[in-house]
Structure 1
Amino acid sequence: MKGRNMLSPKTLYDKIIDRHRILSFGGPEGAGERLLLYIDRTVLNEYTSPQAFSGLREAGRKLWRPAASLGVVDHVNSTAPVREEGKVDEGARRQIEYLIENGRDFGIEIFDVLDPRQGIEHVVMPELGLVLPGMVIAAGDSHSTTYGAFGVVGFGIGTSDIEHLLASQTLVYRRLKTMRITVDGELAPGVTAKDVIMEVIRRIGADGAAGHAVEFAGAAIEAMGVEARMTICNMAVECGARVALMAPDDKVVAYVAKGPRAPPPAILDRARESWRGLRSDAGARFDTEFLLSAGDVPPMVSWGTSPDQALAITERVPDPADMPASRRDDAARAIAYMGLEARMPLQDVAIDRAFIGSCTNARLSDIRDAARILKGRRVAPGVRAMISPGSSTVRRAAEEEGLDRIFTDAGFEWRQSGCSLCLAMNDDMLAPGERCASSTNRNFEGRQGVGGRTHLMSPAMVAAAAVTGKLADVRSLAMLEPL
């Protein structure tokens, strides 16, 4: 019996859930089973946590394990090149102040705007070494699936659940169905993890993994670095996944070990043996299987207003008349909103803005990828280009390598860390009608600003668009020698 019979082969997801199950409330065996689940860690931000703390105050409750929580300022802060604590509107200022106040009153460590470790929550947690294989991490942000790259069950929760978690270190949880997405073969030159997950989302749809914990496997996944794997797990939520997972390996252990908050080497050595068992058993049954050949994945761009509305950069804007009847209205609305014409080549679409950043693609490896394209080139006239590193730590590391100079010499704004132009919640946003090549995760209507038009792609593809002034195939730019 899936999830209860200890002798039957288990998926990685079920292994981790079973190890964190305090009790079962009954219900169906396997998917749908209601549990009380222990949560190892959470990360809080200034935007989704205020109501939870207000509820704790009203009930007179304390935190069960304050040390299991970390607070960061990332959503509403300015990312202006020179960091100024006070450069936010009054609402944002109060959100930041309340997070700091809550950290002080409840004993939670907070990385405020001027903290040298400040950054986007899903970048900061792994770089500190706080994300360890086998954990369950829940947080008030849907892209908490990012942690699955470490063999972690990570998922987003609402404000009431944040309050419950802080007070008890537990959550009432319903076991998910399981899906395995196997990516075999090798990626072609110019193709990245971002292209892989965009192709997965395009093929299975925005709700193709709804209600599932998705495990990514296969030779192409194993060949990727940890930061590339984080990109895939991060965006898995865009096809409906509630959890994304990958079996941890020596790359993960080495990444964790670099973190200043990682366990001591002796403990990591012992943990490594335990972590070897964090993989799905041979014969484990998944509710759904999906296979993708890595060699078939091209550089991708989105054309519409949902992440599944994407195509290879070499293709044309689709014609709704050629689509199934169930998709025509959505496609026609998306094309109209985006100011496109059916059948026009994607590479003819001119851009106004270029943005590299977000919890999806603003780590050091992403910055290096874009810098290889930008080195010796200039941003096209009329394009405003900006990059916001995923954390202050990433920003310093990039500067130590001289990457900031490559960006500024090319005409990019080298900004501070934060969610920035990923979402219209700070002073970085698109004007109505502006079109942006973006390394972010969502292209919904108004996501980057009211009336703004977003094309999702990899950081290298953003760099290619920035220097050509339009959506461009990164493979058409001569690849430069590694930095």
Structure 2
Amino acid sequence: MEKTTLFDKIWDAHVVKSVPAGPDVFFIDKHFIHEVTSPVAFLNLEKRGIGVKYPHRTIATPDHNVPTVDQDQTIKDKLSRMQVEKLRHNCAKYGIELHDLGSAHHGIVHVIGPELGVTQPGMTIVCGDSHTSTHGAFGAIAFGIGTSEVEMVLATQCIMQSKPKKMRISVEGELGNGVTSKDIILYIISKISAAGATGYFVEYAGSAIRSLSMEARMTICNMSIEMGARGGLIAPDETTFEFLKGKQYAPRGEEW
């Protein structure tokens, strides 16, 4: 029997149905959306008379086409303003949690999940953005999807997805002064090329990886895309749990 990795265990636990000689019907625990890839998905749901299956499993924030400063003022660019307004409208219509401009937890879509404790080990997470792989730092299977797939997840909480191949990259030893997680991932990319992990989900391991902070691990997983990978994953440990403890959406009491 083939040995199972952390990736295998999470993936297999979320397969609703396997299509013979085809993809898996794959359940998604958390779905992050923003103002760029969600409007057309919502429009298609409306055209088809379909609602959002599990609104509580989706979290929204506008982050791609929003100003860095003066966020309390009207967005000058017409298209950007329309996208943000559509996100607000759709979240209100379908009962989706929105962290809007000016709110306490507004931020980058890949960052608010970890900040709030929404991102947790063992989860499956998707977003209409390639760098969704960032969440893999917490021991989650996280990857970017396209607009039609955003629609699919909103409607069914599942996605049709073939299981990626697996790759393990171990980095051992102590980091020298001034060496950061970005140096690690850039070095890996320099060795295997910008297409070296195409079709793979990468599990990062080794003492150098274990020594990293959660923010540094997020950088590693975020940039997995830059070598063609479907996503990156780091096994959760005490560093992970300490980061999540006490976060707004983290488990408490017996659940913790």
What pairs with 1:130-149 in structure 2 (closer than 5 Å)? 130-149=118-137
Counterpart pick for 1:38 among 27, 35, 53: 27
User: Unaligned 5+ residue runs, structure 1?
Assistant: 1-6, 28-32, 269-483
Counterpart pick for 2:83 among 78, 92, 95: 95
Counterpart residue identity of residue 52, structure 1: A
Aligned to 2:58: 69
Aligned to 2:205: 217
How much does 1:111 deviate?
Answer: 1.3
Structure 2: how far apart are the matches of 1:8 and 1:199? 31
Structure 2: how far apart are the matches of 1:89 and 1:112? 18
Does the CA-based 8 Å contact 1:85-1:114 persist in structure 2?
no
Note the alpha carbon deviations across 1:56-88, whole angstroms, 9 max, x for none: 1101111110000011011111112x4323133
Structure 2: how far apart are the matches of 1:39 and 1:222? 27
Note the alpha carbon deviations across 1:255-282, whole angstroms, 9 max, x for none: 11231121213211xxxxxxxxxxxxxx
Larger Rg: 1
Is 1:113 matched up with 2:101? yes
Structure 2: how far apart are the matches of 1:122 and 1:232? 13
Structure 2: how far apart are the matches of 1:108 and 1:249? 31
Pairwise CA RMSD of aligned residues? 1.1
Structure 1: how far apart are the matches of 2:64 and 2:192? 30
Structure 1: how far apart are the matches of 2:29 and 2:73? 31
Structure 2: how far apart are the matches of 1:209 and 1:51? 30
Note the alpha carbon deviations across 1:20-69, whole angstroms, 9 max, x for none: 01111122xxxxx6211110011100011111000011011111100000
How much does 1:14 deviate?
Answer: 1.1
Counterpart residue identity of residue 15, structure 2: R
Is 1:16 matched up with 2:16? no
Aligned to 1:248: 236
Structure 2: how far apart are the matches of 1:38 and 1:241? 21
1 or 2 for the larger relative contact order (CA 8 Å, sep ≥6)? 2
Normalising by structure 2, report the TM-score: 0.97
Aligned-pair identity (%): 42
Question: Runs (4+) of structure 1 moved beyond 4 Å?
Answer: none
SS of residue paired to 1:155: strand
Structure 2: how far apart are the matches of 1:87 and 1:94? 9
Equivalent residue pairs, number: 256
Counterpart residue identity of residue 16, structure 2: I
Aligned to 1:310: none
Structure 2: how far apart are the matches of 1:14 and 1:167? 26
Structure 1: how far apart are the matches of 2:75 and 2:14? 42
Structure 2: how far apart are the matches of 1:85 and 1:56? 31
Aligned to 1:416: none
SS of residue paired to 1:78: coil
Does the CA-based 8 Å contact 1:46-1:99 persist in structure 2?
yes
SS of residue paired to 2:19: strand
Aligned to 1:125: 113
Structure 1: how far apart are the matches of 2:223 and 2:246? 25
Counterpart pick for 1:152 among 140, 147, 150: 140
Is 1:199 matched up with 2:193? no
Structure 1: how far apart are the matches of 2:116 and 2:210? 23
Aligned to 1:438: none
User: Unaligned 5+ residue runs, structure 2?
Assistant: none
Aligned to 2:43: 54
Structure 1: how far apart are the matches of 2:123 and 2:176? 33
SS of residue paired to 1:179: strand
Counterpart residue identity of residue 34, structure 1: P
How much does 1:216 deviate?
Answer: 0.2
How much does 1:209 deviate?
Answer: 0.1
Aligned to 2:222: 234
User: Judging changes above 3 Å, is the alpha-carbon distance between structure 1 residues 258 and 194 closer, same or farther for their aligned structure 2 residues?
Assistant: farther
Counterpart pick for 2:176 among 178, 182, 188: 188
Aligned to 1:174: 162
SS of residue paired to 1:26: coil
Counterpart pick for 2:245 among 257, 260, 270: 257
Counterpart residue identity of residue 68, structure 1: R
Structure 2: how far apart are the matches of 1:210 and 1:85? 42
What pairs with 1:287-302 in structure 2 (closer than 5 Å)? none
